[in-house]
Amino acid sequence: MTKKQEVAYEIYNEITKLFPNAGCELNYRKDHELLIAIMLSAQTTDQSVNKVTAKLFDKYHDLNDFATASISDLENDIKYLGLYRNKAKNLNQMAKKILEEFSGTIPNSQECLESLPGVGRKTANVYLAELHHIPRIAVDTHVSRVSIRLGFAKIDSSPLTIENQLMKLYPKDIWISLHHKLIFFGRYFCTARKPNCKNCPIIKHCKMPEL
């Protein structure tokens, strides 16, 4: 194990102490509900998504309902979320493509998932990890921010670069757990504007202390 990996493990263990039960905070009951919730979560809090999907999933029961819904209706149903117009269009087109090209079954491969409208690498990673337990590290704004502050990546690193850096530092069997813990750490502790540096157990490893 390299020195970098030793430090990475120490960081993981300390964050685990803070958030031992970190996990997906999106509410869903079926596979398509999970995929839709993840798509809707872009640039929006999970809490906001859950408020919207509580009604959305009662109105639209399956992919066919989303495929046949009018864009204007979908826009109205998710209008309280950021980028709602684009998201409504993607939900409709995503559902149509799954029904037409994948026989109504959501694909479980990275490539096929990313071929769906509105589904990028981060969304695909979250879906595969959460539903199929396939080792993935999804890099969102929280994971990116924490990784840069801890020196795992440079300030101008792309999400894919950060993902690759983290995969090199940590073994595959903790990628999913790491993803959730980094998100919780970034969302509730090492926040963007007022990080809790004073009480941070890994401040010695931070490259940007006392922000």
* Catalytic residue (choose from 140, 154, 173, 194): 140
Q: Is 156 a catalytic residue?
A: no
Give the whole-angstrom CA distance, residue 76 versus residue 85: 9
Q: Is 31 a catalytic residue?
A: no
* Catalytic residue (choose from 55, 122, 172, 207): 122
Find how far residue 1's CA is from the centre of its chain.
29
The greatest distance separating any two alpha carbons of the chain, rounded to the nearest whole angstrom, comes to: 55
Instruction: Give rounded-to-5 percent helix, strand, coil for the chain.
Output: 60, 0, 40
Closest CA to 38 of 124, 102, 104, 109: 124
HEC sequence for 116-184: CCCCCHHHHHHHHHHHHCCCCCCCCHHHHHHHHHCCCCCCCCCHHHHHHHHHHHCCHHHHHHHHHHHHH
Report, as residue numbers or ranges, the catalytic residues. 122, 140
